Structure 1
Amino acid sequence: MKRITYLFTALVGLALAGCSKTNDKQEMISTISKEVFGELPDGQTADLYTLTNKNGMTVNITNYGGIITKLTAADKKGEWADVVLGFDSLAPYLGEHPFFGALVGRFGNRIANGKFTLNGTEYKLAINNGPNSLHGGIKGFDKVLWKATEVKEDSTVGLKLEYTSKDMEEGYPGNLNVTVVYTLTNDNSLSIDYTATTDKETVVNLTNHSYFNLTGLKRDILGHEVTILSDSIVPVNKELIPTGKLRAVEGTPFDFRKATVVGAGIDKTDDEQIKNGGGYDHCWVINRTDKALIPFATVKDPESGRFMEVFTTEPAVQFYTGNFLDGGLKGKGATFGKRFGLCLETEHYPDAPNQPQFPSTSLKPGDTYRTTTVYKFSAK
């Protein structure tokens, strides 16, 4: 009789334990936490925020430069791994690096000769890329400390970042008030919402410069399969400044309208544009009829099955394949060699302030700059 009682008690215990585990799983919620990331040279403290959804996906963001330092995605076996290039501590971000994970502004991409004319006034910008200005200048938005506010909703967690760029900072006119909100949802999407206002007409082109590697930082991205729903690119000269015309992708190594392995055409240097970019480092014009949030690109790592879909309200995207990475930087146990990561930087066209035939990047007082980009992760 005692044996039966013990057996019954054990079975009840196992059943209760199973219920507890089930309830624990059901009760998983999205969370956000904060810790000190490090100290800046001026004595200010940079913080690191960890966003976690109910599935276990995590995104780490620091208020220094609005940098995404870590983003995990599950493979086809359900195993999570970090899929963005970056570092585990603040110090390497304070040194030279190619904008890993950073918010870019005031103007993403290049402005020729570091100058433009607006309303009859010529503005000279900080030069930091040969004779040109790149990604906002010497101290762009990627190198400032943003005001951070945690955002918690019923099914999402987010981080709101705010920064005021003073009139003539890096040469740009107007006091520009910028807000960027990162939101992690339970469908494994990271949404980035950008807004900005100004007290004087200026130019704005904001983006995020994350380098993705869906292998989980195990090898380069040449085997990734990419689609970009675009019929044309913005061709560039040897300094990567737009020529002012568009070029059809059909019949060229730039045709990604169907899933194409990155390595298939990246070294076809008989193509002048491949030669100029050292591979892919070009702006694709997104096929769209309005300013709605639409899907325009996918990336898949066939071995792991990790799959990324990208949506945006922007008119174009800079597809960059890490051609200038040379193995000199290391992080998270990986060496960032040539073509170890790829970027899909949603944006307006490069050098738009100097090319009136391109969509305008002008922002006037009373108007609000608004754009949204979403990166959604799954496994195939």
Structure 2
Amino acid sequence: MTTITQAPYLMTDLGQSTLYTMRNKNGMQVSATDFGGHLVSILAPDRDGKLADVILGYGDYAGYKVNKYYLGAAVGRCANRIGKGRFTLNGKEYQLALNDNGVNHLHGGTVGFDQKLWACKVISCEEGQALRLRLVSPDGEEHYPGALSVTMTYTLTDQNELVLHYEAASDADTVCNLTNHAYFNLAGHNSGTILGQRLKIYADHFTEADAESIPTGRVLPVEGTPMDFRDYHRVGERIDADYLPLNYGGGYDHNWVLNSPAGELGPCAEMWDEASGRHMTCLTTLPGVQFYSGNFIDGTQLGKEGCYYEKRGGLCLETQFAPDSVNHPEWPNPILRAGELYDHTTIYRFDVK
């Protein structure tokens, strides 16, 4: 059964934050904080039972306050990009902050959910204890319509699963697309790049994007391209191929359209570090996943344990509605109607092989 301990963590501009550490019967540990809902560390065993921290993070508030890479962050109100920061809902056009190179809207705006102090409570559940985080985003915050009430529940199971359950409701029609921006490196957060680790994505198609990472509207087959991860490939095997989407993204930074029906919990991706044996399976109810290979990490920000992360030092599997899908009614989209419940789950399951 999982137990949770808590301790004072970082002093933030919003007040004292708390670190919550979940431990299961196998010795696996997951730590998270109420500041930004960040996942701070995941200690997972290798084939010999040795624990290593497999996600990137910071060791101080200065890192999390700037957090240019969104390491471990809870992202909202709308994850990923909205082209030109504009969308129309119920006949009204909304203009959001252009916080992505002054051109597009990214990860909820200037002050997203990753910069909020969430209300946290340790709750009892079938697995023992879980962490419940709550936040209310007022009507008009970051220019989004509707007061949005969000609940995230983080659970560590005895099957070495980290379960992220997202719920949200609004008093007016709005946009809601929640994710977590953890960067995984199954060899250990300070072990170098993830280029040699293997990845599999359960998707036959991806959404083509332009040079600004905004979808063109075309959904393309992965077959015959470097985007084909239907079987395991090393992350670095084709990352520098002369292929326009990779040229635009500086590597992988794209949305894959998952084969599982939206709303049903199905396989999303697998990641495997052969040297340690650590293996991770991602499952989700969401229709897409942004695989980002850490192309823009530049080694200038101090991470935890005195580590300066290098380019491609970790990868993200951000389960989501596709980027800019609010402007593509033909796709599954993140419009949340008043009175409806946003209810999605993502699971990261750790084992060895």
| Structure 1 and Structure 2 fold alike (TM over 0.5) | yes
* Alignment-derived partner of residue 232 in structure 1: 205
The residue type equivalent to 1:205 in the other structure is N
Distance 2:18 2:143 in 1: 28
RMSD over aligned Cα, in angstroms?
1.1
Q: In structure 2, how many angstroms separate the alpha carbons of the residues matched to 1:235 and 1:290?
A: 20
Q: CA deviation at 1:96?
A: 3.7
Contact 1:228 1:256 in 2 (8 A): yes
1: distance between equivalents of 2:206 and 2:337? 28
Question: Which AA in structure 2 matches 1:295?
Answer: P
d(CA) in 2 for partners of 1:60 and 1:294?
A: 25
- CA distance in 2: counterparts of 1:112 and 1:102, whole angstroms: 22
What runs of 5+ residues in structure 1 fail to find an aligned partner? Answer: 1-28
2:14 is the alignment partner of 1:35: no
Identity %: 46
Deviation (angstroms), 1:87: 1.6
Q: Distance in 2 between matches of 1:284 and 1:363?
A: 22
1:373 corresponds in structure 2 to 346
**Equivalent residue in structure 1 for 2:83, among 86, 97, 112:** 112
User: In 2, Cα distance between the equivalents of 1:181 and 1:188?
Assistant: 16
Distance 2:174 2:262 in 1: 24
Residue pair 1:156, 1:183 contacting (<8 A) in 2 also: no
Tell me whether 94-103 or 69-78 shows the greater mean CA deviation.
94-103
Verify the 8 A CA contact 2:161 2:347 in the aligned structure 1: yes
Kindly report which structure 2 residues correspond to 1:275-354, keeping only aligned pairs within 5 A, or say none. Answer: 275-289=247-261, 291-331=263-303, 332-354=305-327
Alpha-carbon deviation of 1:369? 0.5
Match of 2:113 among 122, 129, 141: 141
- Could you tell me which residue of structure 1 aligns to residue 71 of structure 2? 100
Look up the match of 1:54.
25
- 1:247 aligns to what? 220
The TM-score, its normalising length taken from structure 1, stands at: 0.90
Equivalent-residue separation in structure 1 for 2:300 and 2:263 (angstroms): 40
Q: Is the counterpart of residue 122 in structure 1 residue 93 in structure 2?
A: yes
Larger Rg: 1
Q: Give the aligned partner of residue 171 of structure 2.
A: 199
d(CA) in 2 for partners of 1:154, 1:246 = 40
> 1:156, 1:186 within 8 Å by CA — same for their partners in 2?
no
Taking structure 2 as the reference length, the TM-score comes to: 0.97
1:96 and 1:258 mapped to 2: Cα distance? Answer: 33
Is 2:41 aligned against 1:70?
Answer: yes
Secondary structure, aligned partner of 1:170: helix
Where 2:282 maps in the other structure, the secondary structure is strand
Q: In the alignment, does 2:58 pair up with 1:87?
A: yes
Q: How has the CA–CA distance of structure 1 residues 257 and 156 changed in structure 2, closer, same or farther, with 3 Å as cutoff?
A: farther
Q: Note the C-alpha offset of 1:132.
A: 0.4
One-letter code aligned to 2:57: G
Partner SS, residue 257 of structure 2: strand
* Count of aligned residue pairs for this structure pair: 350
* Aligned mate of 2:330, from 352, 357, 360: 357
Gaps of 5+ in 2: none
- Aligned partner letter, 1:181: T
